[in-house]
Each structure stands twice: as structure tokens, then as C-alpha cells.
């Protein structure tokens, strides 16, 4: 997960590799999947009650965002 303070956006990149900075994805029967990222929001100074809603996202290449390699995809969520 990445946070851009200027645009108030969060970018999520999924991986199957072990990374100590990664957040696990949890799957449920009736609700799909979610990420328990409260620690990420706390470290970034984001107030969870203010941001705890469902957001639309945009899919972009990691290369266009200057993050990762050319084969990675980012899901970008604007918090504004």
C-alpha cells in the first residue's frame, strides 16, 4: 500500500510474495475480500472513522506511477 499526501490517494498493489511490509487479504463467504489496514492508516495519520466508506478505484500501471516494475498494476483510491 502506498499513500500520496498531496493527492490524498492510496494505491494498492497485490503480490503473492512474502514481504514484511505487506498487508494480508482476508476472504469472507458473503462479503468478498478486505484488507485489515488500520495500522497503515494510523502510521499515515489518516482518521479511520472519517475514511471508513466504500470507494471507487482506478486501475493504473505501477510504471506510470513510478512504483514497481512494468508488469505491476495499482488500484488507486482517492480519499477526497
pLDDT tens sequence for the chain (80 residues): 888 889 888 888 877 777 777 777 888 888 888 777 777 778 788 776 666 677 889 999 888 888 766 678 899 988 87
Q: Take residue 59 and report the three cell numbers written for it.
A: 486501475
Q: Take residue 31 and report the three cell numbers written for it.
A: 462479503
C-alpha pair distances (Å), 15 with each of 12, 19, 30, 58, 68? 10, 9, 23, 18, 11
pTM for the predicted model, two decimal places:
0.69
Q: If you ran DSSP here, which 8-state letter would residue 63 be given?
A: H
Domain coordinates in residue numbering, the chain:
2-78
> Starting at the edge strand that comes first in sequence, how are the strands of the sheet with 58-61 ordered?
2-4, 9-12, 73-78, 58-61
CA 35 to chain centre: 8
Amino acid at each position: 500500500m502506498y499513500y500520496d499526501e498531496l493527492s490524498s490517494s492510496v494505491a494498492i498493489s497485490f503480490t503473492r510474495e512474502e514481504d514484511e511490509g505487506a498487508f494480508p487479504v482476508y476472504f469472507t463467504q458473503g462479503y468478498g475480500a478486505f484488507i485489515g489496514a488500520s495500522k497503515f492508516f494510523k502510521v499515515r495519520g489518516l482518521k479511520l472513522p472519517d475514511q471508513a466508506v466504500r470507494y471507487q478505484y482506478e486501475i493504473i500501471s505501477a510504471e506510470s506511477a513510478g512504483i514497481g516494475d512494468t508488469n505491476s498494476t495499482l488500484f488507486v483510491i482517492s480519499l477526497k
